Amino acid sequence: MTKNRTSWFFYGYAIVLAAFLIMTVMWGVFYSFGIFFEPVLMEFGWTRAATSGAFSLCLVLAGFFAIVAGRLNDRFGPRMVMTACGLFLGAGYLLMSQISAIWQLYLFYGVIVGIGSSGSFVPLASTISRWFVRRRGLMTGIIASGVGFGTMIIPPVANWLISNYGWRTSYIIIAIVALVLIILAAQFLRRDPGQLGLSPYGESEVQENGAGVETREFSLQGAIHTRQYWLFCATLFCSWFGIGIILAHIVIHATGLGISVASAANILAIIGGGGILGRITMGGIADRIGNKPALITSFMLMSVAFLWLLTTREVWMFYLFAIIFSFAYGAVSTLESPMVAELFGLSSHGAILGAIFFADSVGTAIGTVLAGMIFDITGSYQSAFLACVALSIMAIILVVFLRPITGVRRGR
């Protein structure tokens, strides 16, 4: 077994910093799509449905190709995978500056940016799980908080660029910055501590205390044949169904009730900031009380938030909802990777996490579209929010039945 060399600095923290930077850039530019929405519509006169369809395609393909990215990460490591994703992402945004037809929007953004975005969580979170036994939840929370930081920083910068240079030039600037930062940060990534003659942080301490490091090592095929895999997929589908609805519809829902556009925009800002707090706080708490109790707590908070939303009409009520919801939402996104490591081990962690991450994407896509359909039919989001309540409670029940896999040999 390799042992950590005596050093004042553990290289795993450099991995965390590089992964955090990549997450910040990738998710920041991803959520900048809405900033470019209006100027693109004004120039070409496309419908909102046709234009937003490219965003949905990007989201679904990012989830699907996350399985591929996870598999490649297991085999070749994150440096190669994230370099390739950075190239696709940068190329997609460079090509976006040249679009003149709707099919180009779907190809350049929906497909090429979608492939590049497949590295936005799974390979990075999987790598962190290999580097940390102790503090795994906290470190995963730190890199996942890059989503919130990116959302708060990059869209406003994109808005300023568009105002001063136009949307085409802005896409070029964003593409170059994303390309350089992602590829540069990727060069600091390593698949696991063994490549540097180290062992995972806290591994020896956990062994000395009698707590087992993951002994169940599943391939993706083996994991798919377990009840726990499908329970966890169903759990995350239920949670991300509601998360997708909120992220896509909460602003227009609030303005429809007479809330000002500025105040409604603040709801998303609170969700972004609260998500950072939820990711880091619940990641650290999960290290102490366990991933399953932390997930149950998060889903309980999410259920409370959705119940509150059913009667929310005033600005302060929306802000309170955003605080509770964002904390729970941030926690759920953080705990996925540590839970996969706990259930299925690390040998195929990236591939398994990628497959489960696809359930997130499907839940988000279905929830977003279904909420729009419900509003078109009923003129209200109430039925959609009731569905969110029901599914978040279902997520609690499913997690209760999610138990460790016992009596399984390595390599199944």
| 201 strand-pairing partners | 132
Q: Which fold has domain 12-195?
A: Growth Hormone; Chain: A; (1.20.1250)
The pLDDT value given to residue 250 = 85
The pTM of this model reads 0.80
Q: Is 29 within 8 Å of 89 (Cβ atoms)?
A: yes
Which segments of the chain belong to CATH 1.20.1250.20?
A: 12-195, 213-400
The pLDDT value given to residue 376 = 83
Overall average pLDDT of the 115-129 stretch? 91
Q: Is 228 within 8 Å of 161 (Cβ atoms)?
A: no
The pLDDT value given to residue 207 = 52
Angstrom distance (rounded) from CA 412 to CA 404: 15
Does residue 364 carry a pLDDT above 90?
no
Summarised one tens digit per residue, pLDDT across range 141-180 is 999 899 888 888 888 888 889 889 999 999 999 999 999 9
Q: Is 326 within 8 Å of 272 (Cβ atoms)?
A: yes
Tokens of 250: 């909460």
Q: Is 295 within 8 Å of 399 (Cβ atoms)?
A: yes
The pLDDT value given to residue 232 = 95
Residue in 360, 116, 354, 323 with CA at minimum distance from that of residue 237: 360
Summarised one tens digit per residue, pLDDT across range 161-171 is 988 999 999 99
Tell me whether residue 406 is exposed, middle or buried, using C-beta atoms within 10 angstroms of its C-beta: 0 to 12, 13 to 18, 19 or more. exposed
Confidence category of residue 395, pLDDT binned at 50, 70, 90: very high
Note the CATH architecture for domain 213-400.
Up-down Bundle (1.20)
The pLDDT value given to residue 359 = 85
Which of 12-21, 55-64, 151-160 has the highest mean predicted lDDT (pLDDT)? 12-21
